[in-house]
Amino acid sequence: MDTQVNIESISEEIVEKNPGEPEFHQAVREVVNSLGPVLDKHPEFVKEKIIQRLCEPDRQILFRVPWQDDEGEVQVNRGFRVEFSNALGPYKGGLRFHPSVYLGTVKFLGFEQIFKNSLLDLGIGGGKGGADFDPKGKSDHEVMRFCQSFMTELYRHIGENTDVPAGDTGVGPREIGYMFGQYKRITNKYETGTFTGKEVAWGGSPVRFEATGYGCAYFVQEMLGTFDESFEGKTCVVSGSGNVALYAIEKIHEFGGKVVACSDSGGVIRDDNGLDLEKIKQIKEVERGRISEYTDSHEDASYEEGGNIWEIPCDVALPCATQNELQESDAGTLIENGCIAVAEGANMPCSPEAIQAFLEANVAFGPGKAANAGGVAISALEMQQNAGRQSWSFEYTDQQLRETMQKLHATCRDAAEEYGVPGNYVSGANIAGFIKVARALVAQGLT
Ligand code: GLU
């Protein structure tokens, strides 16, 4: 069968088999659409039905999470863990707690995680989990009771050589701490390697908070370097104001760039003098407030409720908030305004049409699988650190992160060149990530 026809029919089959999961369909399409040249070169991947096998998770776990709120009322949430592929190592991926989480979210994230983790070359498979629980507005005790109930089911499916969860949106060191505590209690094992994203005092990595944001800035710095550019003197916008956005901003400022805007779900702040990161950290990390408060102390800055951050002219744009936050029309505006590089700090923030527009306009584009791999890279390093019962310094860990992102950038760039699409990091990341898993699947027999 003609490769393109084969790819189309595989995509259709997957959409049909997984109804009502548009984000998963989008993630699958993004990968398989890059694979034509790979299938032409490796007919064994077609024969072994590698794509079809990778699109069907090894295991999907759905469970009830009952817990009691502070008023004594019983609450019921739904928990998920999708173990996608352990061809390259134990399942690895975060847990997302957000009211919008459903099976399709976890499957899209888990599917992307297979390739992201493969690209890192650090011996980890792909998985993802979470719950439709909203930690916002809950007391510490409520969050603890939820996490304990969640772990009372999940504990039997995870382990340092089986499946290693971490944080994602809504899950940070507090939640990881409660889950680890319950895991330890049920299993009677002090197995730090079963979780990453722990606090530094008991096995965590010192660069955890900074990892995804720093990693994204490192990746873009490499990408800019391929055409003799750098962050120095560049005007940037970074959507979001969670830890990915905040630490991308920090690193960009260190590299001599100027970030003039960021956002939260309420609106956009713009400060043409360059954002005062310490103030934003104070608002978001200490006071857990809204970024609109920024203008109280910065009179030159403006806040636009419900504003569109992509309308602000910039050289580099980093979508670091959430999936599908940057659409085709936004891509058009950024291109018109002379933007030269875009990289996804969040998972799948750009729509397929937006990505296509960037590629056609020759904007350097770093897909999330590569550009936001810093978070899970630090997780893999945390696993190494735990296995060796060591504690690493911030500087040493950050240096490891930077080298890992440089290597990952080179892997994507080289794969794109080898398969005839130079400069296309979307194809480069998908191809390099896929080939490694595919080879392992062929070698390991029909599983
Ligand atoms: N949630 C992060 C990601 O999307 C990190 C996952 C991990 O550390 O396992 O890659």
Question: What does the alpha-carbon distance between residue 46 and residue 305 come to, in Å, rounded to a whole number?
Answer: 50
Question: What does the alpha-carbon distance between residue 252 and residue 231 come to, in Å, rounded to a whole number?
Answer: 7
Question: What does the alpha-carbon distance between residue 300 and residue 272 come to, in Å, rounded to a whole number?
Answer: 8
Q: Would residue 203 count as lying in a domain?
A: no
One domain, residues 302 and 430? no
Query: Ligand 1 center to residue 437 CA distance, Å?
Result: 18
The CB of 128 under 6 Å from ligand 1? The reply is no
Across 97-105, average pLDDT: 98
Q: Which residue's alpha carbon is at the smallest distance from atom 5 of ligand 1?
A: 376
Question: What does the alpha-carbon distance between residue 393 and residue 366 come to, in Å, rounded to a whole number?
Answer: 29
Across 93-106, average pLDDT: 98
Active site includes 128? yes
Which residues span the domain enclosing 139?
A: 57-190
Amino acid at 245: A
Contact 370, 219 (CB under 8 A): yes
**How many domains does the chain contain in total?**
3
DSSP string, 199-261: -GGGT--TTHHHHHHHHHHHHHHHHHHTTT--STT-EEEE---SHHHHHHHHHHHHTT-EEEE
- The last residue of a domain, from among 362, 385, 403: 362
Contact 130, 80 (CB under 8 A): yes
Look over the chain and give the mean of its residue pLDDT values, rounded to a whole number: 96
For 255-276, write each residue's pLDDT tens digit: 999 999 999 999 999 999 999 9
For 275-326, write each residue's pLDDT tens digit: 999 999 999 988 889 999 999 999 999 999 999 999 999 999 999 999 999 9
State the CATH number of the domain containing residue 47. 1.10.285.10
Q: Would residue 266 count as lying in a domain?
A: yes
Question: What does the alpha-carbon distance between residue 389 and residue 193 come to, in Å, rounded to a whole number?
Answer: 10
Query: Ligand 1 center to residue 375 CA distance, Å?
Result: 5
Q: What is the pLDDT of residue 447?
A: 86
Confidence band of 1 (pLDDT split at 50, 70, 90): low
Residue 56: CA count within 13 A, CB half-sphere: 9
One domain, residues 343 and 217? yes
Q: Kindly report the pTM of this predicted structure.
A: 0.96
- The last residue of a domain, from among 308, 333, 362: 362
pLDDT greater than 90 at residue 250: yes
Q: What is the pLDDT of residue 114?
A: 98
Q: Would residue 443 count as lying in a domain?
A: yes
The CB of 248 under 6 Å from ligand 1? The reply is no
Q: 46: part of which helix (H) or strand (E)?
A: helix 43-47
Q: What is the pLDDT of residue 288?
A: 83
Contact 138, 68 (CB under 8 A): no
One domain, residues 283 and 161? no
Closest ligand 1 atom number to CA of residue 375 = 5
Q: Would residue 342 count as lying in a domain?
A: yes
- The last residue of a domain, from among 321, 346, 362: 362
One domain, residues 218 and 351? yes
Contacts of 364 (CB under 8 A, 6+ apart): 223, 224, 226, 227, 340, 341, 342, 423, 425
pLDDT greater than 70 at residue 117: yes
Closest ligand 1 atom number to CA of residue 380 = 8
One domain, residues 441 and 346? no
One domain, residues 290 and 273? yes
Query: Ligand 1 center to residue 272 CA distance, Å?
Result: 32
The SS3 call for residue 177 is helix
Across 166-178, average pLDDT: 95
Q: What is the pLDDT of residue 61?
A: 98
Q: Would residue 411 count as lying in a domain?
A: no
Closest ligand 1 atom number to CA of residue 167 = 1
Q: Would residue 87 count as lying in a domain?
A: yes
Residue 64: CA count within 13 A, CB half-sphere: 5
Query: Ligand 1 center to residue 376 CA distance, Å?
Result: 4
Radius of gyration of the chain (CA): 21
Which residues on adjacent β-strands are paired with residue 253? none
The CB of 211 under 6 Å from ligand 1? The reply is no
